[in-house]
Structure 1
Amino acid sequence: MKTMITMVRSLAAVAALAIASPAFAAGAKVEIDYQDWSFAGPFGYYDRAQLQRGFKVYVENCSACHALSRVAFRNLAEDGGPSFTEDQAKAIAADYTVVDGPDDFGDMYDRPAILADRFPSPFPNENAARAANNGAYPPDFSLLAKARAPQRGFPGFVFDIFTQYQENGPDYIYSLLTGYVDPPEGVEVPVGQYYNHSFLAGEFISMAPPLFEEAVEYTDGTPMTVENYARDVSAFMMWAAEPHLEDRKKIGFRVMLFLIVFAGMLYFTKKKIWRDVEH
């Protein structure tokens, strides 16, 4: 009885903390625009065309400031990703220059990137990145879809267990990219910053609105709108953060199917063995 009381008190404390703490409060400071993603749910998958469009948005609109340092060029041609051909991935890599070495004289040198290389950072170091962005440090895009996933808080995260909602990262990124609006009356935006009602760290953000209508040319007929750009690049960032999502979900389904069949076999085996034994 004492143990049960202790457990109840602990659960109550956790619930109170989840409700009271702004770090866990669902939507306490940000407005999240929830999207319908192809990779959501137990049977989710990446839309290859969307990933390719998102990569195009990243290259033409985001790569000048944001690194993608954990993604190798070969990943673009691997199963479960954007599904570029190997030749296409090689052509993409050839557009980049990476630092290699040392050579026979002990010097570092530049060379065209190959499939084994990772995307090089647009800046040599953090100080250079801050100097080029008014003191703000542009985060690496590799894991951002996981690292910038605001917690839903209590009781939201309880429902997420049953709905299998795991897309708070791309939902937040999409909301941030489309969240640039005029500030409310009486709100003064600091110099060098912009008003964004979906920014996790507050209403003011140092990044200028990165997307605008027809900023990137789509060749597959998809409307060239800010919303589509934001949705496509968010999906691409989700893939960068979790490139094996499809395999994970396929394995998870097979494991659950096996456990269901195995449990049924155990049940009927037990019934057969103990059918003549009185209980």
Structure 2
Amino acid sequence: MPAASHPLSTPLPVRQATRINPAIAVWLSRIGYALTGAIVPLLLLALWQHAASQHWLPEQLLPSPALVFSSFIELYQSGDLTANLAISLKRVGWSLLLGGGVGLLLGGLFGFSRRARIWLYPSFEVLAQFPVIGWIPLLIIFVGIGEPLKVLAISLAVVVPVTLQTSKAIAQVPRPLLDVARVYRFSLPQVLAKVVWPAALPTLFGGLRQAVMQAWLALVFVELLAAGEGVGYLMVWGRQLLQLDLVVVAMILIGVIGVLLDRLLALVELRLQRWRRNAF
């Protein structure tokens, strides 16, 4: 008779590992990343609320989070917040068009012309060392303290990163691609559209992201110094009224808008990267 099998000798059924949908896994990782990044701001907010409730400093010097939120709602409902934000974004937009256009022309000149790089690039490097605030007295003499002053000052902050990154992007285009274009007798627009632009896109867009951030920072400086409206002026207005809650609202708004602009550009860059892979 066959020997009875021992119960422990019977193989147990193998449990299949539970697989998570890749899309769900990506969303879970993003949620975990966001929650982790929110720890420090929440701790600072709790410390801020505790300091305000314990009156470590007078309310005029340390407004409570509730007062800041209330001021934000009042500014939004009155329209002052959106009106000043729209003016600031308009200034940044015009400055990006003007400074970005000049930067692309200069960067293309330095990238394609060896003579221009030898004769003009050293002078550009010297001028690029001047901060935006150093140009303001000279600009006031020539254009006054009106709107052109703001746009030109912010444009100067945009020109430098766009010029440098454009020149670098053109210099990094693989020479074999240019040789192939020469063999096929591409015209200059064809070379730019089919060879230079796809190859230089990552570096060019990196320069654009730097330019946007520099424009946003320069905007705050300019509006703090010489402006009667805009997000930066809200800080000046709050300081003049001795209402630091308005200053804090403007500071938080500046930080949030800067982050949103960078995230928006990151999404656009991702789309363009897909187009670049298809182009090649």
TM over 0.5: no
Question: So what's the TM-score if we normalise by structure 2?
Answer: 0.24
Question: So what's the TM-score if we normalise by structure 1?
Answer: 0.24
Name the larger-Rg structure.
2
